[in-house]
Structure 1
């Protein structure tokens, strides 16, 4: 395959990256839906989401990077924006079980996602070691952190 082959299917580099990022969001939504399914406690749902976020970053590094590091302007790619919105629509009702104010619930979700994102990046940089033990420990860190953030948010 030639270097130019992908451009026969995509208008430019950003269009190719947008397609990868869209796939990344779809995969995240699938994983996050599976992670929260069957859990009734919203704090535990958010903890499971955070652990799943870390696992996604570890198992799908190319999709993770395309989704979060490509620097894409989502206003140019409606399908990408919609895929990202679907992830939020999946998880926002969970946060709303803890906080009835929509803005406060969204802020809670952002804080948990930001913490999970940071832990995922640190894991990928090797700060917690490598291999399955490091991944499992980081998933647990993400879940504990999400629980603490969710409980603090629910009590304020």
Structure 2
């Protein structure tokens, strides 16, 4: 092989981590988390099978990094949606709407968050990110319920309703995302 032969742009320099993550998300989009292997990620990224190990200890480490990004994006979306509302019940309804929207718009990230099969005790940063996300929802719930247990139960009920509707959208039970978002918001209001 001549020294004049170049690899495709973006596949061999400082953005290797990003390229690997993008390839992994493509695989998840096509076949779910189980379809993502480091060998296939490497092939898609146009790098050697050893290249991912420069950034990730193994497949689960790659998926954990993506889940961490997914949690951060979810948190940003939920906080932004909730800030547009004043009343706590409407804040929770805005969260539920944003939850379904995230699942529909970011299906691979959503699936990784809930179906990657990661041992979260091995990745405490994921436990922390999930707890931070939960805490964002606790603030309006505390304004609606007098006890910690009551606010926790309210958050769980609203999140469970939103999650169920998000899964219905992804599974094709509900084909209209806008309708599912409206149902999530109205369900949250009814639960409150």
Whether TM exceeds 0.5 here: the answer is yes
Report matched runs for 1:78-117 at 5 Å.
78-117=124-163
Name the counterpart of 1:48: 94
Partners of 1:123 and 1:3 lie apart in 2 by 37
| 1:140 pairs with 2:182 | yes
Q: Which runs of 5+ in 1 are unaligned?
A: 151-156
TM-score (ref. length: structure 2)? 0.73
Q: TM-score, normalised on structure 1?
A: 0.89
Q: 1:16: Cα distance to partner?
A: 1.0
The equivalent of 2:110 in structure 1 is 64
Report Cα offsets for 1:19-66 as digits up to 9, x if no partner: 111111100000000010031111111001000000000000111011
* Higher RCO structure, 1 or 2 (CA under 8 Å, sep 6+): 1
Asked if 1:38 is matched to 2:84, the reply is yes
Distance in 2 (CA, whole Å) between partners of 1:14 and 1:66 is: 11
Residue 119 of structure 1: aligned partner: 165
Q: 1 or 2, which has the higher helix percentage?
A: 1
CA distance in 2, matches of 1:26, 1:83: 7
SS at match of 1:40: coil
- The unaligned stretches of length 5 or more in structure 2 are 1-45
Offset of residue 104 of structure 1: 1.4
Cα 1:110–1:2, aligned 2, differ >3 Å: closer, same or farther?
Answer: same
Give runs of ≥4 in structure 1 deviating > 2 Å. 2-8
Tell me how far apart the structure 2 counterparts of residues 101 and 40 of structure 1 sit (CA, whole Å): 21
